[in-house]
Amino acid sequence: MTEVLRLRPVVHAAPTADGVHVRGWTSSFTVKGGAGLWRLWEQLAAALAGGVPAPELAAPSGTPEPVARAIELIIGQLREHDMLVAVPQGWGEPGPDLPPIAVAAWLESSAADPAAAWHRLAGTVFTVCGAGAPAAAAERALAAAGMRYRRVPGPASTLTLEASDRLAVVAGCLGEVGYAVPPGSADTAAAQAAAVAHHLSGGSTEASANEASAGATPRLSNGPAAEPPEVLCALVAGAAVHRLLCAAAGLPDPSREGRETPTPHHAVLVARLDPLRMAYHPWPDAEPPREALSWEEAMAALDVLGDPELGLVPTPQAQDLPQLPVNLAACGEMVGYGTTLNAARLHAALSAVARPSDVAIGMDHLHARGLALRLATHRNRLEPVEAVELVEEAEWADDPAARRWWKALTLRLAVPASIEVVRLAAGVVHAQVSARGCVLGWAVEAEAGEAAAFALLAATAREQARRAGRSIAEGPPVCGATPAWQPSPQPLPWGYRDHAWPSGSREGEARFQQVLAALAGEHETPGAEATEIGATALRPAAPVADEAGVGGPWAISGLVAVRIPPARAARPLDLGRAQ
């Protein structure tokens, strides 16, 4: 069948003072050169509306050279911005083996190869499993798209749509809120729907996880008994059908429309009434986070953690908190701190996550283990010991970051603070800042300057928050294990160590954790996985709960839980034992 090139139906143009502006779904361009370009565009668009064979899409012979160059430029821009699409001759008209007119326009707007996409859809048999208004709305949507489908009985609480037993989408309505999970296998979609439904209905996320891991059918145990509004059912069911049709046709998921880069997490559609609206929200992947996330990945995980609909904690924001000399952010009642606002938002979110007192929560395994080992080392340091090496002031005060935060605390904020820096073992330094008989901050790091800098940063943040009428609760400290922003590879015009700190602090974190594990009396178990240090006390949490009982809603939110080693009996520390 002969193929022709057409303008995608989503492409529109408008005249400008000296040319034409053309816009598509995700991009646009402007051609300048005179008012005559608009008349040229009208003629070109009229020809492309009916379809032009690819070899004939050029300026006719005898066309004046300036006009030919303008045509060539416009066509080149249309190709570059993916505004032209190849379709069979007669596409969009009634005929055998051709899609309905509305479906043809949809595929012509979004598919790279509309004919191939329709061929996949035409060869698919869809299944609607459910009852009530959601199932009826899904049937109407499939029928309007010209799809073949069958109806099977199912629960009224959820709607399950399948495409030839290959893909499935699960949706549901709970009173005035509805959802639709991303396409996947039937088991994956059911597990995600169970967790999402329980979360939206105000249930326990941990219970949802256990229910999902057991392969249970999604249920709305906490949902209202009344029938959900029909308009919400129609919206959710139509959106679920749309997601499944896109997946079956090989098109991008609707959650990716308008995005230059795809979201790193799953996207769950959430719809609400009054006013009627829907949006896609991030949902964590089933796979646990990598050993060490990049800063960009940590920020994406923060979006999941603090999502207003599906997050575990409120969205962390600066609110009216002061931002100098330390950046502060609030997550509910918790206040976090950092050297940038995003770093403060990250710390605030982690501080707001509920946890048992013997568990450390991190963004990845490296972060969680680092927090657990530092907390254990700090608690052991609070016990009376006989052998510690006092670090001279000259050793830590020469560090630019430590000097910066010492001045911020004692000069800018005029706090009469003192700092104690001691070496607990070779390569392990403990720093603690005090004022007015209270501990303002502490840190455990490999270098004296680094430990002093983190302890002084925490102390400065605590004093700054106090003056703003807020408090930073005892929780996970910002430390060398925390994901940090990394500058671009190009040399910065200012001192890297002075202004980009704590960037680069994680580079030696894995080696430092080995020293801390030895100091805490924990040793790597032969044959243990690389993500485990000290298999007895530092085993990362499984997605729901491990045999040590470490688990909870944070695991489903993409975080890592690690048990803190218990405090040891007070005894002298051998300064040369951990090499």
Residue 464, Cβ density class (10 Å: 0-12 exposed, 13-18 middle, ≥19 buried): buried
Which is it for strands 148-152 and 125-129: parallel, antiparallel or unpaired? parallel
- Closest C-alpha among 394, 362, 395 to residue 509: 362
Q: Residue 552: which region, alpha, beta or left (left: phi > 0; alpha: psi -120 to 50)? A: left
Cis peptide before 487 (omega within 30 of 0): no
**Do residues 148 and 163 touch, judged by C-beta distance below 8 A?**
no
Q: Please name each of the domains of the chain with its CATH number.
A: 3-87 (3.90.930.70), 123-283 (no CATH), 295-486+496-563 (no CATH)
The amino acid present at 233, given as its one-letter code, is: C
- What tokens appear for 532 in the block? 């485990």
Per-residue pLDDT tens, the chain, 579 aa: give them. Answer: 688 899 999 999 999 988 999 998 888 999 998 888 999 999 999 989 888 888 888 877 777 888 888 889 999 999 999 999 999 888 888 877 788 888 889 999 889 899 999 999 988 899 999 888 899 999 999 998 889 989 988 887 889 999 987 899 999 988 889 999 999 888 888 888 888 888 888 754 333 333 333 333 333 434 444 678 889 999 999 999 999 999 999 888 888 875 555 556 778 999 998 888 988 888 876 565 567 777 787 888 888 888 888 888 888 999 899 999 999 999 988 999 999 999 999 999 898 887 777 888 888 889 989 999 998 888 887 655 556 788 888 888 888 899 999 999 999 999 999 999 999 888 899 999 999 888 999 999 999 999 999 999 999 999 999 999 898 877 789 999 899 887 766 555 555 556 788 888 888 888 999 888 887 765 443 333 333 333 223 333 333 333 233 445 555 567 888 888 876 543 433 333 332
- Position of tokens 């993500």? 531
- Closest C-alpha among 302, 370, 301 to residue 341: 302
Measured CA to CA in angstroms, residue 428 lies from 263, 378, 446, 572, 576 at distances of 39, 11, 5, 15, 11
- Closest C-alpha among 185, 154, 178 to residue 236: 178
**pTM, rounded to two decimals:** 0.74
- What tokens appear for 534 in the block? 């000290």
Say how far apart CA 98 and CA 331 lie, in whole Å: 54
Beta bridge partners of 20: 15, 31
Measured CA to CA in angstroms, residue 457 lies from 215, 302, 325, 438 at distances of 46, 22, 10, 16
Sequence-distant (≥ 6) Cβ neighbours of residue 47 within 8 angstroms? none
DSSP string, 11-26: -EEEEETTEEEEE-SS
**Do residues 338 and 347 touch, judged by C-beta distance below 8 A?**
yes
The amino acid present at 239, given as its one-letter code, is: A
* Cα distance between the two ends of the chain: 74
Sequence-distant (≥ 6) Cβ neighbours of residue 543 within 8 angstroms? 209, 213, 286, 288, 551, 555, 556
Looking at 423-548, list the stretches that DSSP marks H as alpha helix, in order from N- to C-terminal side: 448-467, 496-499, 509-519
Say how far apart CA 294 and CA 485 lie, in whole Å: 8
Sequence-distant (≥ 6) Cβ neighbours of residue 71 within 8 angstroms? 40, 44, 58, 59, 63
Which SS3 state, helix, strand or coil, does residue 545 take?
Answer: strand
What is residue 523's DSSP assignment? -
Furthest CA-CA distance within the chain: 97
What sign does the dihedral 553-557-560-566 (CA atoms) show? negative
The amino acid present at 407, given as its one-letter code, is: K
**Do residues 564 and 369 touch, judged by C-beta distance below 8 A?**
no
